Amino acid sequence: MDQAVTAKEDALRLYGEHINAKRVDGWQRVGLGLVEHRREGCYVWDADGTRYIDCFGGAGCFNVGRANPVIRQALIDAMANEDLGDFMLISDAKAQLAHRLSEITPGDLDYVMYGVGGGEVNDYAIKLARGVTGKTDIIAMEQAYHGHTGFALGAIGRERYQAPFLPMVPGFLHVPFNDLAAVENAMTENTAAIMLEPILGEGGIHVASQEFISGLRELCDRTGALLIFDEVQTAWGRTGKMFCSEHYGVVPDIMTVGKSLGGGIYPIAAAIFRRHLQPFNEAHPYIHLSTFGGSDLGCRVGLATIDYILDEDLCGRSASMGDLLMGKLRQLQSAHPQVMKEIRGKGLMIGLQFTDDAHGPRMTKLLAKRGILAIFSGNETSVMRLMLPLIVDEDTVNEVANGIGDAVAELAERAAQG
């Protein structure tokens, strides 16, 4: 038997035996029983040698591409003299990244609390809102996704994630996305914050309207509640600007970021918040700790990633390549309205809404056959998510569009046959 095939089979077997066999079975059923091996740029190779264009990107982890050599070198350079660093002590790396984050974020988002992943910093954002306001209620969105840790799990708008672990941390209310009246009706004297993703990621790539975002800011200003933007998936150029909030001209009180802050190389996340919230931390300087959050190696990688995004104008590339891809996809939608309902998104955060909940998993399988790695939205399975690396070029966009076109044509033919 071929050595590569044997290695792949061994990885699948061991993963099933020691991590989760149901995951292996689930991915194989939708055509993605691959074992990640080589990674480069917009591509990932299965252990058996099959190449895929990565259109999922770890839900936003690989904005600067897979195994980016510049970011990898930054980690290598940091390891020459530094390690994780002691999470209780001060370091140049921690201080420099916090300063850089304060420089590039809008408004007076000047203070930082580090974490390892998005769920962890979303936990902190909720804790900070409660601590500052002295109130407990958090209004979050139906279909939202904020992570699987304690407070963040309560903010998720999907019961299936919560049911095995009831009771949840109390105080979370969920309202329809883009429904300002529903948010206002849910507000009480005990509302600490309104929390949302400016674009629902796992929830199907629904884009917040200007009216909704501006209305939330006005509502928070009027009531004293805090506005929390979870930009874990939408930041770092993903939507055509460094931060999605910039599209709206609205500054949240707290913004959480992660995923591509680590350049796809090293895990790091951060909650960045406005100056007027800092007195709470000054009064409680050790109220929130993370052993590996804001590690020195992670901070060096974060600094290199920010520089790379700016130096390569990946925000501009995301906007232009996103426009190109969405234009082609809308042509497909016009040609196949019986299976394709809508194309939506910003930059290279794109959702393909199909007419049937089963079409998302079917498209994942059809695209995998064509060398395209794309995954349907977990909270809205009729939606296919596309989150290509921002380094993508026009030729690769065309290749993706052509592959999707072929897959949609096959899907439409099968649907017509019943």
Largest CA distance in the chain: 69
pLDDT at 159: 84
pLDDT at 1: 53
Domain boundaries, the chain: 33-64+313-417, 69-311
Provide block-wise average pLDDT over 10 residues at a time, the chain (418 residues). Answer: 80 97 96 96 97 97 99 99 97 99 98 98 98 98 94 89 90 98 98 99 97 99 99 99 99 99 99 98 95 98 99 99 98 97 98 97 97 95 98 98 98 87
pLDDT at 370: 98
Q: Which residue is associated with the tokens 């629902």?
A: 200
- CB-count exposure of residue 23 (10 Å: 0-12, 13-18, 19+): exposed
Task: List Cβ<8 Å contacts ≥24 apart for 305-313.
Answer: 305/64, 305/71, 305/74, 305/236, 305/260, 305/261, 305/262, 305/263, 306/100, 306/104, 306/261, 308/64, 308/68, 308/70, 308/71, 308/263, 309/63, 309/64, 309/236, 309/237, 309/242, 309/390, 312/64, 312/391
Contact 229, 196 (CB under 8 A): yes
How big is the CA angle at 352 (ends 349 and 356), to the nearest 5 degrees? 145
Q: Which residue is associated with the tokens 């799990």?
A: 153
pLDDT at 8: 94
CATH number of 69-311: 3.40.640.10
pLDDT at 63: 99
CATH class of 33-64+313-417: alpha beta
Global pTM value: 0.96
pLDDT at 416: 86
CA-to-CA dists, residue 17 to 11, 13, 26, 312, angstroms: 10, 6, 15, 43
Q: CA 408 to CA 341: how far, in whole Å?
A: 12
Contact 129, 335 (CB under 8 A): no
